[in-house]
Structure 1
Amino acid sequence: MATPIALTIAGSDSSGGAGIQADLKTFTVLGVYGASVITAITAQNTRGVQDVLTLPPDIIAAQMTSVASDLAVGAIKTGMLADRVTVETVAEGLARFAGVPLVIDPVMVATSGDVLLAPEAIDAVRTRLFPLADIVTPNLREAASLLEAPVATSLGEMEAQARRILALGPKAVLVKGGHGEGVDATDILVSRDGLSRLTAPRIATRNTHGTGCTLAAAIAARLAQKATLETAVADAKSFVWKAIEGGKTLSVGAGDGPVDHLHAIRRQ
């Protein structure tokens, strides 16, 4: 039996809660072998992002070439891409992975509020990456930024924004409601085949660092295991909800702590 392999193309989080580190933890816990292409190195902790070094495009491209030439990647997710040159480099490198399911997490702002995608790169994400994507996973603020629109405040507005993003070329869009209000957190999944809503009770905790990365990584992991997109999204939402619930009692750092990627292992 072939080993399911997922590839993350993202930035490194020195505190371990988001980015490459969160993705690899998620892949591992879900039983998928994880490979990585690092796009940027951040000096980061639970309080914020102190510094960022974007890697040269040549080394980003070389990492993608190395993985493509040797590993049978079953799914890919992208995270922090930092700037336009990196977005274009990744878009070109994805040609080596034709037919591999692609999850685009349009990382723009960290949980702390620090900007992780240059404004001039947003158009490149829309035009170069979205047409390649099987699914795009923006949160409420990211969806608004992508569309240069106000942040959605209702499920109807979320659905409308999801459909506008769908028109940019991806096969499906998941607008995440975790940053909204109310007792429940509802995500809107829109595809060319229809609409569904995924709802879970909202959890009161500051430990939400890395939720977006973890969700996209979990979707990619399940796609690498040959799950359907709808199943992958539902399973990923369940995984993240349990990671947030399990992370309530974690004591990591003095700011917005991470979710508990290892919750399934801890239960065992």
Structure 2
Amino acid sequence: MNQSPSPPPPGPPQVLVFAASDPSAGAGIQADLLTLASLGCHPLTALTAITVQDTVGIEGVQPVAAELLEQQARTVLEDMPVAAFKVGLLGSVENVLTVAEIVSDYPEAPLVLDPVLASGRGDNLSSEEIISAIREMLLPQTTLLTPNAPEARRLAESDDDAGEPTLDVCAERLIAMGAQYVLITGTHENTPEVVNTLYGSAGVIRRDRWERLPGSYHGSGCTLAAAIAGCLAGGASVEEAVRDAQDYTWQTLKHGFHGGMGQLIPDRFFWAREDGEGDPNNTQSQPDEH
């Protein structure tokens, strides 16, 4: 008796990344690919810009034409279901508007926005026009925004500010602009520990403190945002995704390596090189939560 073939097992959750390339694979779309694959997702990509960079710094950025960016994303979205979006460096105002238009057609998919405004060395990567477009077009569609402290201040700055706004005020403003949640990371702050704070419409949701590791890292922000997107794609709540992605990211930094002469590169597959460590979500360290 002939039996009908069994349906194939469900595949991994698919995450579409809008980001720029990084030839060193420390940051950018390559870092997102490594992170999402490590967490059991299938990453899809729409390239926004081509960069010339290494672990020391960025030498050049060439944005992809908005028409080509749209073709990349629309083609894959018509073929493959997406469980989440992750957005990084966009490179031009036209690309901001293009991505905003594309994701508006998929309001059910969570969107994690990593506002890449400068490189780890401090190279400026986003003009005021790009930042304005992000505020107006992308923040209202953002599930979770993941700026570091300088990015949060730059995104939230106001002409009425007499001095530098506090991070709590920045988060309040960014949520008023439309982001559902804001996770401000403290890697750039002068504190003994790295303090990452998750905000919602009612204020602080969780504040996690992590051991500040020595050295600086190329692509830590990309890793965290991509990991959150991967966790959301797998069905986690925002708070669960933020908690688990922080733990994963800290482990990648703890196991970081010198791939070149500049910043350390996070090891996104640290668990594959540790005896008895077969699950990237089963890490040992946990943050102090307040």
**TM more than 0.5:** yes
Cα distance, 1:257 vs. partner? 2.5
| Aligned-residue identity in percent | 37
SS at 2:24 equivalent: coil
Q: Which AA in structure 1 matches 2:61?
A: V
Cα offsets for 1:81-110 (capped at 9, x unmatched): 112111011111112323100001111001
Q: Whole-Å Cα distance in 1 between the matches of residues 32 and 182 of structure 2? A: 20
Residue 259 of structure 2: aligned partner: 252
Structure 1 gaps, min length 5: none
RMSD: 1.4
Q: Which AA in structure 2 matches 1:200?
A: W
Counterpart among 211, 217, 225 of residue 201 in structure 1: 211
Counterpart among 255, 258, 264 of residue 271 in structure 2: 264
Moved over 6 A (4+): none
Q: Whole-Å Cα distance in 2 between the matches of residues 81 and 11 of structure 1? A: 7
Q: Check conservation: 2:172, 2:203, Cα contact below 8 A.
A: no
SS at 1:73 equivalent: coil
**Residues 197, 146 of structure 1: alpha-carbon distance in 2 compared, 3 angstrom cutoff:** same
Q: Check conservation: 1:61, 1:93, Cα contact below 8 A.
A: yes
Q: Does 1:52 align with 2:61?
A: yes
Counterpart among 12, 20, 39 of residue 11 in structure 1: 20
Residue 200 of structure 2: aligned partner: 191
- Count of aligned residue pairs for this structure pair: 261
SS at 1:204 equivalent: coil
Q: Whole-Å Cα distance in 2 between the matches of residues 81 and 20 of structure 1? A: 11
Counterpart among 93, 103, 128 of residue 94 in structure 1: 103
Cα distance, 1:148 vs. partner? 2.2
Q: Which has the higher helix share?
A: 1
Structure 2 gaps, min length 5: 1-9, 278-290
Q: Which AA in structure 2 matches 1:203?
A: L
Cα distance, 1:68 vs. partner? 1.1
Q: Whole-Å Cα distance in 2 between the matches of residues 76 and 199 of structure 1? A: 27
Q: Check conservation: 1:103, 1:134, Cα contact below 8 A.
A: yes
Cα distance, 1:194 vs. partner? 4.5
Q: Which AA in structure 2 matches 1:220?
A: A
Q: Whole-Å Cα distance in 2 between the matches of residues 204 and 2 of structure 1? A: 38
Q: Whole-Å Cα distance in 2 between the matches of residues 252 and 22 of structure 1? A: 14
Q: Check conservation: 1:209, 1:257, Cα contact below 8 A.
A: yes
Q: Check conservation: 1:104, 1:133, Cα contact below 8 A.
A: yes
Q: Whole-Å Cα distance in 1 between the matches of residues 56 and 143 of structure 2? A: 33
Larger Rg: 2
**Residues 151, 81 of structure 1: alpha-carbon distance in 2 compared, 3 angstrom cutoff:** farther
Residue 42 of structure 1: aligned partner: 51
Q: Whole-Å Cα distance in 1 between the matches of residues 29 and 180 of structure 2? A: 25
Cα distance, 1:151 vs. partner? 5.7
Q: Check conservation: 2:184, 2:196, Cα contact below 8 A.
A: yes
| 1:114-263 equivalent positions in 2, closer than 5 A | 114-148=123-157, 157-195=166-204, 196-206=206-216, 208-247=217-256, 250-263=257-270
